[in-house]
């Protein structure tokens, strides 16, 4: 994975959802300028996915994946997005995050106000507790790159 980065220049790591579990690892191995979580999980060093859920008191998300992740998309677009999605199950989700500490670099968090997977009130507390910052906010559900790509791009730029 790290070979794909090559010789980074002005590298900014953006982690969506479960990608939060690899974000700090990537930042610890390459020279990143910043880290941005987008509706992301923020694990502690050495924490597994199941420990994350238990330690943060993550609320249960809706069982219907469209309701959980894509509630702000028209149904047909949401179904097409789900049909094109890759599975997110990986052996690494059972392993502890292999870092000793959080990367020391500018870090931001973008909260989605209509997120049903990680509800806003819960997310604000988790971000304050784990990162010590106040999250930025955007309208939309869990996947703003699908429902609000221009707003997300403006934020990231």
Q: Which residues pair with 66 in a beta bridge?
A: none
The β-bridge relationship of strands 136-138 and 107-112 is: parallel
Average pLDDT taken over every residue of the chain: 91
28 falls in which pLDDT band (50, 70, 90)?
Answer: confident
All structural domains of the chain, each given as residue ranges with its CATH number in brackets, are 2-156 (3.40.50.1820)
Helices vs strands, H then E, count in the chain = 7, 4
pLDDT digits (tens, 9 = 90+) for 52-98: 999 999 999 999 999 999 999 999 999 999 999 888 765 656 788 88
Gap between the Cα atoms of 43 and 48, Å rounded: 8
Predicted model pTM:
0.91
Gap between the Cα atoms of 119 and 26, Å rounded: 26
Q: Which two tokens stand for residue 104?
A: 């020391």
Phi, psi of 48 (to 5 degrees): -90, 170
| pLDDT of 97 | 85
pLDDT digits (tens, 9 = 90+) for 42-52: 999 999 999 99
């Amino acid at each position: 994975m790290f070979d794909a980065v090559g010789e980074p220049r002005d590298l900014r790591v953006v982690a969506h959802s479960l990608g939060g579990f690899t974000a700090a690892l990537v930042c610890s191995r390459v020279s990143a300028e910043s880290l941005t979580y987008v509706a992301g999980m923020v694990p502690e060093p050495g924490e597994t996915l199941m420990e994350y859920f238990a330690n943060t008191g993550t609320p249960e998300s809706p069982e219907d994946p469209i309701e959980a992740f894509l509630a702000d998309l028209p149904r047909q677009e949401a179904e097409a997005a789900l049909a094109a999605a890759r599975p997110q199950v990986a052996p690494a989700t059972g392993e502890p995050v292999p870092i000793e500490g959080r990367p020391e670099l500018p870090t931001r968090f973008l909260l989605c106000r209509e997120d049903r997977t990680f509800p806003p009130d819960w997310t604000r507390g988790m971000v304050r507790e784990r990162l010590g910052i106040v999250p930025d906010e955007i309208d939309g559900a869990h996947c703003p790159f699908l429902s609000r790509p221009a707003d997300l791009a403006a934020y990231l730029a």
